[in-house]
């Protein structure tokens, strides 16, 4: 059985009893190396269900979400080795019923549906869990799988897909959902014949998945917002490396901009962050790139800038809370419009405890320059946790941030990396109530 492990909480006990302590930090300085992408890793790990042969995936971050998905794969019959940042997966799927307890811990558990149905024709799936970001239906996933011929009934609160021989299909997504695009691509790869999926999500993580599937023997052509999939009867094992995490890259770009100072970011793909880099430059941040290393120098008096989140290549919704924290330094008012997950603004009331000047109306947040003072905050989701920690480093006095179970789902060695940048932050275990 795969041993649960998280470097930063190994000696601190259970994650729910850990909190961060942040003190005012005048500036960040030094270098930080970006880990492999969480979202790209999860999709590639799910794709290994399409073959019985050995798959070796490199640069996989050691994150709680990754461990949950690997535990799911083990329950389904896969044999797994996770050493350093390399995952080796081999063996056949022996069980097609997803454990409900694990499924509820992870939104990405839905990604096993396509591979299992394509390889086995049937399966029983519980609804997934993850961050509480409001309504996040899986109807587009289901629509795509039904287009291939899959049929299901609800039984005991679970989706019971009956055994079917799936066929190729032409599918137009009503919204460019990342997860649905990944699920449909994986299923189509093991359905012989040509499938066409249009209005797809175009995130770099999906391109990473496409390349992995092609390395396994699929034939996928990318034609703008349309993918042509020439499915085959059998896929084989492959070796592949996970791309750098663009959201982690953006997090450290915004941390430097918000706290101040100058840092170098190793391993970031600037081409994945075009919109963010342009917006930061608009506020006065200086960003350069040389030999794959991004250099970031914060602006002394940042100018306000409005953003509106959108699917890639637009401004990432995952970076919206961090942008809001940065705008607390800007000399004027800025507006943030959330068009992907309106419930992502749940962090606003917590930041107001620090003295943040924020006014939320519908899906538009207005942010003003603020003098922050330490307080005790509770993180409501993964990206909000990172945003609150950065805000705590900007605030006078000491800020304590709880709810770190969210943070450990998506950032590898986050505190260690901040400390290497000279941030006044630490984590400690609290007493159990």
Q: Go through the domains of the chain in sequence order and give each one's CATH number.
A: 15-35+245-429 (3.65.10.10), 38-241 (3.65.10.10)
The pLDDT value given to residue 137: 63
Q: Is 131 a catalytic residue?
A: yes
What tens-digit pLDDT sequence spans the chain (433 residues)? Answer: 444 444 433 333 345 578 999 999 999 999 999 999 999 999 999 999 999 999 999 999 999 889 989 999 999 999 999 999 999 999 999 988 887 777 777 766 889 999 999 999 988 887 664 444 344 468 899 999 999 999 988 877 788 888 789 999 999 999 999 999 999 999 999 999 999 999 999 999 999 999 999 999 999 999 999 999 999 999 999 999 999 999 999 999 999 999 999 999 999 999 999 999 999 999 999 999 998 899 999 999 999 999 999 999 999 999 999 999 999 999 999 999 999 988 899 999 999 999 999 999 999 999 999 999 999 999 999 999 999 999 999 999 999 999 898 899 899 999 999 999 999 999 988 765 4
Secondary structure of the chain as H, E, C letters: CCCCCCCCCCCCCCHHHEEEEEECCCCEEEEEECCECHHHHHHHHHHHHHCCCCEEEECCCCCHHHHHHHHHHHHCCCEEEEECCEEEEECCCCCCECCHHHHCCCHHHHHHHHHHHHHHCCEEECCCCCCCCCCCCCHHHHHHHHHCCCCEEEECCEEEECCCCCCCCEEECCCCCHHHHHHHHHHHHCCCEEEEEECCCCCHHHHHHHHHHHHCCCEEEEECCEEEEEECCCCCCCEEECCECHHHHHHHHHHHHHHCEEEEEECCCHHHCHHHHHHHHHHCCEEEEECCEEEEECCCCCCCCCEEECCCCCECHHHHHHHHHHHCCCCCCEEEECCCCHHHHHHHHHHHCCCCEEEEECCEEEEECCCCECCEEECCCHHHHHHHHHHHHHCECEEEEECCCCHHHCCCCHHHHHHHCCCCEEEEECCCC
The pLDDT of residue 431: 67
User: Which pTM does this prediction carry?
Assistant: 0.92
- The catalytically annotated residue of 22, 131, 155, 301 is 131
């Amino acid at each position: 059985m795969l041993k649960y492990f998280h470097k930063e909480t190994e000696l601190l006990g259970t994650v729910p009893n850990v909190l961060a302590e942040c003190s005012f930090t005048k500036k960040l300085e030094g270098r930080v190396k970006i880990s492999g992408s969480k979202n790209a890793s999860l999709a590639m790990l799910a794709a290994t269900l399409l073959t019985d042969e050995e798959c070796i995936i490199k640069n996989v971050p050691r994150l709680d979400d990754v461990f949950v998905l690997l535990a799911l794969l083990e329950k389904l019959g896969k044999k797994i080795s996770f050493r350093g940042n390399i995952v080796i997966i081999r063996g056949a799927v022996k069980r097609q019923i997803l454990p409900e307890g694990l499924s509820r811990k992870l939104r990405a558990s839905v990604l096993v549906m396509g591979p299992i149905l394509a390889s086995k024709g049937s399966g029983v799936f519980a609804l997934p869990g993850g961050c509480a970001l409001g309504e996040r239906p899986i109807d587009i996933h289901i629509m795509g799988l039904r287009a291939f011929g899959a049929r299901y009934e609800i039984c005991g609160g679970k989706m019971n897909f009956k055994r079917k021989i799936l066929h190729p299909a032409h599918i137009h997504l009503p919204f460019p959902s990342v997860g649905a695009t990944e699920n449909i691509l994986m299923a189509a790869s093991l359905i012989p014949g040509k499938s066409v999926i249009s209005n797809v999500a175009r995130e770099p993580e999906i391109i990473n998945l496409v390349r992995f599937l092609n390395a396994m023997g699929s034939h996928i052509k990318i034609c703008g917002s349309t993918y042509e999939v020439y499915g085959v009867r059998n896929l084989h094992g492959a070796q592949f490396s996970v791309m750098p995490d663009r959201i982690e890259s953006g997090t450290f770009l915004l941390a430097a901009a918000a706290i101040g100072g100058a840092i170098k970011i190793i391993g970031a793909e600037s081409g994945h962050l075009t919109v963010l880099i342009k917006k930061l430059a608009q506020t006065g941040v200086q960003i350069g790139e040389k030999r794959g290393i991004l250099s970031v120098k914060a602006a002394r008096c940042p100018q306000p800038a409005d953003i509106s989140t959108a699917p890639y290549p637009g401004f990432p919704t995952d970076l919206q809370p961090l942008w809001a924290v940065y705008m607390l330094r800007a000399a004027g008012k800025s507006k943030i419009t959330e068009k992907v997950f309106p419930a992502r603004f749940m962090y606003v009331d917590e930041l107001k405890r620090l003295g943040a000047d924020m006014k939320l109306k519908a899906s538009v947040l207005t942010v003003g320059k603020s003098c922050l003072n330490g307080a005790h905050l509770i993180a409501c989701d993964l990206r909000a946790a990172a945003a609150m920690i950065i805000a705590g480093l900007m605030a006078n006095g000491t800020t304590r941030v709880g709810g770190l179970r969210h943070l450990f789902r998506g950032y590898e060695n986050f505190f260690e990396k901040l400390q290497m940048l000279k941030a006044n932050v630490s984590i400690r275990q609290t007493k159990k109530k």
